Structure 1
């Protein structure tokens, strides 16, 4: 079954609140125990901002363990309130669609968990999730002289004079580019410090540094930093950008993968390579070389490094290794060879073996890399949170089946694997994956599968804009018919969309996926869209500036909208570069074409100039001469800007 967190159980939520005896005040959002009940992300920001310290408990009411800790948390809050401890308290129901953005925002992967906010900066709770453990840690955080226990100097402050030595004199380093005014940087700082401590204790240790990118703009330019925060990992002079979750654990694990040996040495024993593949529970690339001085071994390590973090590599050396390559895999070259041993749990296409052999006498890096990319997949493949971005996000078309997976015993879903393999045999130009919906999280609603409660559901992804969820439960016959109907042009793509507001008033109206064509499709008008996320105070500030721009423009021929990119799919071929972002489709320009993107500062006069410059309307129709903006209005800008 799909996990409860992916179902709309509004009635159950109401029953839970009544049985808990929690009476909410619509005005204050406080329950009868004086604890904030965060039902919407925007309420969360309203409460957190401006408070000295707020403790927030994240839970899922569908999980018994989570509800048990919630009871302990309430007891702890009550005890601290009775003591008069200076702290605010809150609870977030993470199964609520209106609060799920907070999980991504604060890189929360498991619940229950607690974050403690000091002046809006989140700190991870470290302690026992019992009444006693919660009281002890929260009481400590509430002390007026509390400070993070990060060791002084754990992160090196870098400048023009020190950055070159820092990056070039060490095998591996991590750097964060930040700006003092950037709220996102402030929120990330505790996680970055925690990761620095973790890697300080790791062998080998990895030094962490940080650069005030606003102060040292020349360094930002040199490293092509265009926004804050930006994390860059340097290994042996090679620059790698970190684009993972902003949590200490994820940062540290990402670094550990990149400093570990790219290829694992294996003893040249009969069956060792195949056994290594079985134990790995994934595709494995194994190289065979006559000696450790073989020049091809260097190329093999470079190849392994290119797939670091995605595919596992191993190697054998010696005459016995070459004999194993010949006897077990049919390698014909005496100088080198490597095999890709595919995931032993998954089927391969008819006529294929469980492994693929590369044994060209000339070990060309580019040819070897292409060979690996084209041959490591099985007929059906497992998609996980760890491998999705590298293995499946780039490839299209793709069919993905979502079903509960017990990773220690994948035989429990053998029926679904066999059914998907039947489909894959008939459609050789399509890729196929099977994944666990609870693990894949946000991908489930993106594919239009949230409201299904069947044991297995599926979606065909033609490209980033075209997704076709299968109605009802997945079977091979239904999926084959679904794909045939797509080939015949009988299916319409799914676009994730918020419900359109019943009253859509004001200068900047709300645009959702389902209303895009109707509200923004009129090519006789200029359309200006602010792309936002509902949890961002940064976006709210930009929207306030845009409302003043509308007031200054005084034109019925220019339409202003806000569009939440986390809750809606944009049904045109454009991706907002970041949020908040401002884009404009001038009149006369088809909405299927690329818009003009605003790249200036968030000032009223600059935005007005951008709109007038790009307008498809005659200048006389765009506006009357605007009233001069006040200095406060024209200089209003956000805390988080692109450089």
Structure 2
């Protein structure tokens, strides 16, 4: 009996734990979602590999966010059952995450997918977007925390103050905002109508300023650009939470045991050596340091998995052409020479790629090694599907995609597919779920257009006929088949 009681208690506790994530259906969505002040909704499919990996992280984050003040709800919707709700929000890949406020869609979620990152990101979605500071003590505490502080100093109302709050409202999940009109704080700081980013003390160094002052006007886009790209210093500490600040290319990332809590001295020792090289390439090459455990997968993808156990840093340079691992042992001299060699086209990029197929059919099989030949060097429009072999939706799409390839085999358009789990996806494509499709006009290979229309053959043809650069020979612009004279 005692064993049965213990077993019952364990089962009961697991049920309670799962209750922290709210399950919504087509039947109760409309009534329940509007009762939640802030909610992160996960639209998923049970068979999806990415969904399975996200599930335990979602479950870990749920109770902590539920206990937040104000509470933040984590919600899940099974799109294999609740199809009406998923269609309402245009869900086409899994998992898809979206943030809702009082029942209204606020924005797509593009934050971390591990528990701590989800918690930090979503806590930024609750409460005021910028914290008002009313004393010197509060101010000193706010700017001395372990992450960058974006601070507004406003003696009076101004256009810059209005813009500051607009930016805080949209960027609250990425940055920590504070502001003041307190006379004592303004006097101590020496600012009156300014936006300043304060760098945490642990990251101070002799190469970078300790604070970055915004010198532009009240244009909100300029303020956002300043926060994203002008406050990292010569070699910022890149994490999963701030990776969006390191998207400019070329980018050199140096991986080692970055840990400013357990080993600040060691973290600064190697970073200072990176900074020494970085200052020589200002505005020409961007630099960052990252923890090699946090970015173990990225190191593997650069072909340096066997070096993860090394005591010395590992360096990879990312450009529009691909990724370049540094083969030499790390040193200031070797890093500088390596960067210059990549800039001078003396190094070949590393590619994770399947073998190039010996033969091709109507649907072209793309791998990393033939992408340039089949797509970049082609003078045809292209529709590209990125898929995963295990993905159920991809398997359902396959016969329709093959039929599309056959129907358009004589047109000046490439119908192609790439296994995104076995090949490096070209950097201009953002693939977060499967299948993901992009339209690539022949005149613009750098700005792919996400394909979000229907998945039937006729839907593809309608889209391609409308968007093809020179039109199709067998279909008009509306997607209707052009009848030959013999058919009249």
Q: State TM-score, norm by structure 2.
A: 0.69
Match of 1:258 in 2: 125
Matched, 1:434 2:302: no
Question: What's the C-alpha RMSD, in Å, of the aligned pairs?
Answer: 5.4
Aligned counterpart in structure 1 of residue 238 of structure 2, from 358, 383, 403 = 383
* 1:406-433 deviation digits (Å, cap 9, x = unpaired): 3312211333222211212211112210
> Are 2:171 and 1:307 equivalent residues in the alignment?
yes
2-side partners of 1:161 and 1:418: how far apart?
53
Residue 258 of structure 2 is aligned with which of 380, 405, 411? 405
| Correspondence for 1:459 | 316
Residue equivalent to 1:492: 348
**Partners of 2:49 and 2:226 in 1: how far apart?**
41
For 1:493 and 1:545, how far apart are their aligned partners in 2? 35
- Find the residue that maps to 1:442 and give its secondary structure: helix
Q: Which residue of 1 aligns with 2:484?
A: none
Q: Counterpart of 2:307 in 1: which secondary structure?
A: coil
Structure 1 residues 445 and 260: CA distance shift in structure 2, 3 A: farther
Residue 325 in 1 paired to residue 189 in 2? yes
Contact kept? 1:348, 1:379, Cα under 8 Å: no
Q: 1:459–1:347: structure 2 CA closer, same or farther, 3 Å change rule?
A: farther
Q: CA deviation at 1:287?
A: 3.2
TM-superposition CA deviations, 1:103-130 (whole Å, max 9, x none): xxxxxxxxxxxxxxxxxxxxxxxxxxxx
* TM, length-normalised to structure 1: 0.55
Structure 2: tracts of 5 or more residues without a match:
475-488
Equivalent of 1:269 in 116, 122, 136: 136
Distance 1:322 1:506 in 2: 69
Distance 1:273-1:449 versus aligned 2 partners, 3 A rule: farther
Task: Give CA deviations for 1:445-469 in whole Å, capped at 9, x if unaligned.
Answer: 3444334354112122223x43222
User: Which deviations, in whole Å up to 9, do the C-alpha atoms of 1:128-186 show, x marking residues without a partner?
Assistant: xxxx9xx979x969xxxx978644994454669936x954x76423445568x986798
Evaluate the alpha carbon distance shift between residue 426 and residue 577 of structure 1 in structure 2; reply closer, same or farther with a 3 A threshold: same
Equivalent in the alignment of 1:419: 273
Size of the aligned set, in residue pairs, is 457
**Is contact 1:347-1:378 (8 Å) kept?**
no
Match of residue 72 from structure 2: 206
Larger radius of gyration between Structure 1 and Structure 2:
1
Partner of 2:197: 340
Deviation sequence 1:376-405 (CA, Å, 0-9, x none): 2222211112211x211x322211111122
- Cα distance in structure 1, aligned partners of 2:404 and 2:95: 28
Q: Which of the numbers 326, 331, 334 marks the counterpart of 1:478?
A: 334
Measured in 1, the distance between the counterparts of 2:197 and 2:426 equals: 40
1:438 match: secondary structure: coil
The match for 2:96 among 230, 243, 246 is 230
- Give the drift of 1:518: 7.3
Q: Distance in 2 between matches of 1:150 and 1:561?
A: 41
**Structure 1, 246-255 or 514-523: larger mean CA deviation:** 514-523
